[in-house]
Structure formats: C-alpha cells, structure tokens
Amino acid sequence: MELILAGATGLVGAEVLRQAILDPDITKIRLILRRPIPLQNDKLETVVVEDFDQLGSFPRPNPNCVAICSLGATIKKAGSQEVFRKADYDSVLNFAKYCADVQSFVVVSAMGANAGAHFFYSRVKGETEQALERLGLQRLVIFQPGLLVGDRIEQRFGEQVGIQAFHLIERVLPNAINRNWATKVSTLATALLRAAKETARGVHRISASKII
C-alpha cells in the first residue's frame, strides 16, 4: 500500500509517519512538504511545494493509494485569522483535490467542528469538513479528536494545563476519564492508519470516543 501524507512535520503527522515506516503493509510513503525534513528511509519519497495550491501541477497519485491529511495550525501560530484559514481550509482542500482519485482520504479535523459555530476555529473546521464532502471522494473519513495529548515541540500553556490534568485523572481515577475531551496522539495515529486501510465507501465521522 502507498500512503500519501500531508502534515508530517506536525504533532500528529510525525507520529503517523513514525508508525507508517514501521508498518509492513505500507511499502511507500509520499510526503507532501513545504520544506525538506532530515529523514531518510527506503519507503520515503518527498514532494516539496511552497504552497499547496501548486499541487495541481504535479501528476495525480494512482487510485490504489491512500491519503492522510493532518495539516493545521493555531490562531496564535498563524498570526492572523486569514493565515489560519489558509492552512486549515485552503491547504486541506488543495491536498484533497490532488488526492481526488485515491481509494481513501483520511483527515484530522477537531471536536466541535461546525460551519455555523460562533467560535472561528470551530467554524473553519466545520466549513472544511463541508467542502471536503462536496468533493465527492470515494471514501472520506473525518476524525474529530479532543485535546491532543503528546510531546509537542512548542509548548502552549493552556494545553499543558489540560494535559497535566488528563494524566493526573488517568492515574488516580483511570475509569473516570471522559474520552470525549482528550486524545492521545499515538492512539490517534494508529486509528488514522487503520481507517486508511479500510474500504467502505462514503463519508465517515470518527468522534474522540470512537477513536479509542
């Protein structure tokens, strides 16, 4: 199986890449990147683009491929709502159009995604989901995880407080964890790869609790 991955330099994408390299079912991994990464492996092929709207000039993936999209940013990191929307809406849509013929397209969205939401982040995520559905992909799997729990290079204070609380509750009251508000990155990556291998056509939404 050939995997096409966008977002390999992010928290989720890096874990997907790590697991995919170790997965014997995956024989080739095509990385779509804005900048090269210092990683070498016999499975890897890289496509470097300045902007995802340039993907239209590249040959389309063959229909036997599967794709995983973990592109995304935060308002703080993006610096403005316009830049955030470009990363979380435009780039995701351009990648999906590039992968229009693949047998399975799996994308990381977010819990609370809603095109009618007042909160800008949730609204953009919801609008992205709607736009993806309109593309008519053979198989579209939308993951809606909660707070991502993993080793992030850049530390964000609010997330760190939530993650510490998650680990405390998990240790003290393991059966009390609400699976709807936090998702371990390693678990999410495993679920993304599993979903990419499945073949049921249509649109499928996977909530935080279903990811586990």
> What is the percentage of the chain residues whose pLDDT exceeds 70?
86
Least confidently predicted of 99-108, 147-156, 196-205: 147-156
Question: By the 8 A CB rule, do 11 and 5 touch?
Answer: no
Looking at residue 161, its pLDDT comes to: 44
Residues in contact with 27: Cβ distance below 8 Å, sequence separation at least 6, in sequence order: 1, 2, 43
Residue 26 has pLDDT above 60, yes or no: yes
Looking at residue 178, its pLDDT comes to: 52
Least confidently predicted of 70-79, 95-104, 202-211: 70-79
181, two tokens: 């508000």
Centroid of chain to Cα 198: 17
Give CA–CA dist 143/107, Å, rounded.
6
- Residue-range domain boundaries for the chain: 2-146+185-206
Q: Within 10 A of 206 (CB to CB), how many other CB atoms are there?
A: 19
Q: Which helix (H) or strand (E) holds 139?
A: strand 139-144
- Looking at this protein, which amino acid is placed at residue 99? C
Architecture of domain 2-146+185-206: 3-Layer(aba) Sandwich (3.40)
What single string gives the DSSP state of each residue in 53-102? GGGGGSPPPPTT-EEEE-----HHHHSSHHHHHIIIIIHHHHHHHHTTTS
Residue 10's pLDDT band (boundaries 50, 70, 90)? very high
Question: By the 8 A CB rule, do 195 and 206 touch?
Answer: yes
The predicted model scores a pTM of 0.86
Residue 100's pLDDT band (boundaries 50, 70, 90)? very high
Give CA–CA dist 52/54, Å, rounded.
5
Looking at residue 74, its pLDDT comes to: 80
pLDDT tens figures, 133-151: 999 999 999 999 998 987 5
Looking at residue 31, its pLDDT comes to: 97
Q: Within 10 A of 149 (CB to CB), how many other CB atoms are there?
A: 22
Looking at residue 180, its pLDDT comes to: 61
pLDDT tens figures, 160-206: 444 444 444 445 445 444 556 789 999 999 999 999 999 999 999 99
Crossing angle (nearest 10°) for helices 185-197 and 11-22: 60
> Rounded to the nearest 5 degrees, what angle is found at the Cα of 32, between the Cα atoms of 140 and 123?
50
